[in-house]
Chains A and B, each alone.
Chain A
């Protein structure tokens, strides 16, 4: 064994930074388990479920609305009723008796002259039953502070630049309403099926920081990168 320096270099301890809110959540959770409101396994099951849901139902809702004017009318008037038609029941979103959010969904319709973008400056309110967990950046103070104040700059950082004649309408989701954006159907999608259309309505389009593009699909095939030094399987 090679001789090493003695005592010169010690590994720094790994420190997990735990915020006050995480401690609060732990305390409330442990109390609830002690009181028998739910078990640790119930909690784990719910967390696993919450991480498994995604924005596909919301994408389906938008695609359906693009194709069916009657459904579009319903979506704009009553987001909770329209959600049911894509399989999401806001009153029982988990299917095992755990309400997880307020139940007033508003769908914001983009037009050639109005572009919506959603934020919650106070915390991170997000229509989770229909969009799943919010992306990490949505919860950062950086996004929450800056999108209300400098929306064009922030959208530009996301790669979205809009002309002056388009009104950018920031929706600060601060109360019990939850919001999702219904973007405009892009050109180049004529004759597409609901399924094909839903595939281009990605999470970021539903938050409003991006617009759908006919060639950008959710669940797109991963790019395959050729190995620089490929293993030879010829033996």
Chain B
């Protein structure tokens, strides 16, 4: 599929809306405890190193879209569900001050990066 095709597909619908209905049912739901997998990312990824191995809670099931690791190479045939995951800051940074134990960070992952805890 060419880039032009992708742009045409998104015209009038928007991106990621143009991929709606292509990923099947989402594997995770809001409230699920998930761990971020430490998958190899040889060429391109949008999964931050600071989240690898951390456990968080699914906060929002956002939309369907090809994963950036695929879309970067124009592979748009296998969209996935995306999830905003909420972490306790202390889960990400071991020396985060205990006095601010409530502080959190949210970021988004495609389904392939998550596993149920």
Residues of A in contact with B (beta carbons under 8 Å apart): 80, 90-91, 99, 102-104, 106, 113, 121-122, 148-149, 151-152, 164-177
Contacts and interface: CB of A to CB of B under 8 A. Distances in A.
Contacts, number: 90
Given A148-B92, A177-B63, 13 more contacts: A91-B13, A99-B10, A102-B16, A103-B14, A103-B15, A104-B17, A149-B50, A170-B89, A170-B105, A173-B107, A175-B65, A175-B68, A175-B110
A170 B12 CA distance: 32
Contacts of B76: none
B43 interface: no
Chain B residues touching A, majority SS: mixed
Interface residues of B, number: 35
The CB with the most chain A CB atoms within 10 A, among B47, B93, B106, is that of: B106
B84 interface: yes
Contact of A168 (B7, B46, B92, B103): B103
B84 A168 contact: no
Given A91-B14, A149-B93, A174 B46 contact: yes
B37 to A, nearest CB: 16
Contact of B105 (A104, A169, A177): A169
> Closest 6 interchain pairs by CB?
A103-B14, A172-B107, A167-B102, A175-B108, A170-B105, A168-B103
